[in-house]
Structure 1
């Protein structure tokens, strides 16, 4: 009796090419936006804490501008607002990997990685989704600050630069969070890593206080802090009618390079995940 041998299964390779990448990115981004719309409380919770910081710190430390050596302007609320926007971007993006962990736990990630889905689109769609949230939340924070009396000499251009800085920071740390999720595969580990990274970055910056009033080493460390790059670029463009554009573009360039490197590393993390799955 002859044995009938089944033909070998064709391997499924990820689709390539710019049109495929863009199409997959759009579809996957819309998938995450629809999920967010079904649970709007999650978006609201990410917004409530920064607004509390804006309201409380703006009132509690409004006289800090009178301290000799403070170089952040004459209104603490105006000084604080860009820091709160960037803080919101950092904290929100640090949780980006939770969606990857949910997809792993439900088996969705394995199905996506065995399909022709573009690997780059899987990562970039997450970064775009987080950036869209940052965009909307930034406009809300700026609106609340304006209602509280803050006025920004940078005008629309300053707002756009602050948005760009916040969205670049979001893309960077969303990629880092996604990579950590792919490697750790554990929600508790991701939460611990997020707290370990975000809190020091926030306090080792000028988000809440002018670093010229801090210990000298804080200002030195802040120069290499991506969070500080976003704060400096956004604040300089938003608060000044004649900003130092060379300084603004330099810090935005640092952020863009940082985002590209972390995005590439996060995409490579898919290979590690697949080999150990």
Structure 2
């Protein structure tokens, strides 16, 4: 077990180093949430006055939405990293080493998890600067970040699976473009469920993005609903474990093909 963990962490560091060597990418990943947070926050700030929304500050409501949306949009591209490794021949060279196979396929998912945690903290701090209030305190914020990380692991593993099966960049790009907005808008990222169409509200119950939002917002409440926190967190964890298992199965199929 310790060998598997050390190998995974070593390969994760390799992916993190590659990200840190791209300053333009890092700047964009930080600027994009700022745009969502403050432009969306300014555009929809009067939504809180609608009957059924419940009042309060829209920025308070929006911060968890931006945290989760950032986790989703970043992790959906994990499969592109896998394809890069295949095309450069790097992955095949690693297959001749003693590195654990699980570490090879899961390292970029772990990199997404670490990146998501760091980005989530930045978004939370930006919200604080903008005047957002977090009644759940540090514990609630930690659970919001955990919800984002669990979603990143789930979607990163799904993206890896698609990459290993399709072996084409265009397939990942097309699928991500197709899924990103429906997954986001069929959730409570920007609007309270009470104001969503009935069919959309019911669809959100099966949407992992909404599970992360419900978990995070419930934890941030002044009186947290721990049933919601644990229930939605458990769903995300179970789905993430299943997705990681599926990506492992597709990786073993790839090994047999080379």
Give the TM bin, normalised by the shorter chain. over 0.9
Task: Give the equivalent residue in structure 2 for 1:36.
Answer: 19
The answer to whether the 8 A contact 1:86-1:227 is kept is yes
Deviation of 1:40 after TM superposition, in Å, equals: 2.4
Q: Give per-residue Cα distances to partners, 1:30-77, cap 9 Å, x unaligned.
A: 111111111122232223222211111101111111100114x51101
Deviation of 1:189 after TM superposition, in Å, equals: 1.4
Unaligned ranges ≥5, structure 2: none
SS of residue in 2 equivalent to 1:74: coil
TM-score by length of 1: 0.90
Q: Give per-residue Cα distances to partners, 1:91-130, cap 9 Å, x unaligned.
A: 0000111111111111011112233221111233222211
Task: Give the equivalent residue in structure 1 for 2:213.
Answer: 231
Runs of 4 or more consecutive aligned structure 1 residues displaced over 6 Å after TM superposition: none
Task: Give the equivalent residue in structure 1 for 2:251.
Answer: 270
Task: Give the equivalent residue in structure 1 for 2:184.
Answer: 202
2:46 maps to 1:46? no
Task: Give the equivalent residue in structure 2 for 1:13.
Answer: none
Task: Give the equivalent residue in structure 2 for 1:243.
Answer: 224
Within the candidate set 3, 8, 23, 2:6 is matched to: 23
Counting helix residues as a fraction of each chain, which structure ranks higher?
2
Within the candidate set 121, 138, 141, 1:156 is matched to: 138
2:137 and 2:249 mapped to 1: Cα distance? 40
Deviation of 1:19 after TM superposition, in Å, equals: 2.2
2:52 maps to 1:69? yes
SS of residue in 2 equivalent to 1:241: coil
2:77 maps to 1:95? yes
1:61 and 1:20 mapped to 2: Cα distance? 50
The answer to whether the 8 A contact 1:183-1:272 is kept is no
Task: Pick which of 131-140 and 46-55 moved more.
Answer: 46-55
Within the candidate set 177, 183, 187, 2:159 is matched to: 177
User: Alignment RMSD, CA only?
Assistant: 1.2
2:62 and 2:72 mapped to 1: Cα distance? 15
Task: Give the equivalent residue in structure 2 for 1:55.
Answer: 38
Higher Rg: 1
> How many pairs does the alignment contain?
258
Task: Give the equivalent residue in structure 2 for 1:15.
Answer: none
2:77 and 2:106 mapped to 1: Cα distance? 16
Q: Give per-residue Cα distances to partners, 1:225-255, cap 9 Å, x unaligned.
A: 00000011101112x1111111111000000
Within the candidate set 137, 145, 156, 2:119 is matched to: 137
The answer to whether the 8 A contact 1:82-1:234 is kept is yes
Deviation of 1:210 after TM superposition, in Å, equals: 1.0
1:82 and 1:208 mapped to 2: Cα distance? 9
The answer to whether the 8 A contact 1:47-1:88 is kept is no
Task: Give the equivalent residue in structure 2 for 1:221.
Answer: 203
